[in-house]
Amino acid sequence: MPEASGETKESIMSQTMEKGQHREGKYLTFGLGSEEYGLEILKVKEIIGIMNITYVPKTPKYVKGVINLRGKVIPVIDLRLKFGMDVMEYNDRTCIIVVDIADKTGKKTIMGIVVDSVSEVLNIKGEEIEDTPTFGVRLDTDYILGMAKVKGAVKILLDIDKVLTTDVVVAESIVH
């Protein structure tokens, strides 16, 4: 029986399924602290071990600096610090994920993100992805694509473009 809004339960469930299907695909999963995150594999250019990062003065604390990757200067963001997590000493599992992000205009920028460890590439089905829960207060969660329920755990799927969009301006000012 249709609800007051004119939508049926089947219609709402169908829309939810379609949204999940839109987000399904391959994700590179990585760890930050005790949490697991994922980002679309198509955004990943490469994964490299931690290397010498040249500090750039007067940048936000989470901007670690720049690296020289085969003759190209790439800005590097520490995702732990960007997310307000505690500083952690880099170790042999610490990696830089080089990502290709697009700003709101579609302009592409290559950036590196420091993560504690890289886990695996997962093929996540649409039905395994749920919307970001509401936390009862106004929080900006636009950068989260959804929550994936995989192997009895929850992986937070990130829209890396939205996570780093505000940093594109900083990155461009460093590199140019």
What is the tens place of the pLDDT at every residue in 86-127? Answer: 999 999 999 999 999 987 788 888 999 999 999 999 999 999
Tokens of 63: 């901007």
Give the number of other CB atoms < 10 A from CB of residue 163. 21
pLDDT digits (tens, 9 = 90+) for 47-62: 999 999 999 999 899 9
Q: Which of these, 41, 10, 12, 14, lies nearest to 25 by C-alpha position?
A: 41
Tell me how long the chain is.
176
What's the average model confidence in pLDDT over 141-162?
89
| pTM of the shown model | 0.81
Residues 121, 127, 128, 133, CA torsion sign: positive
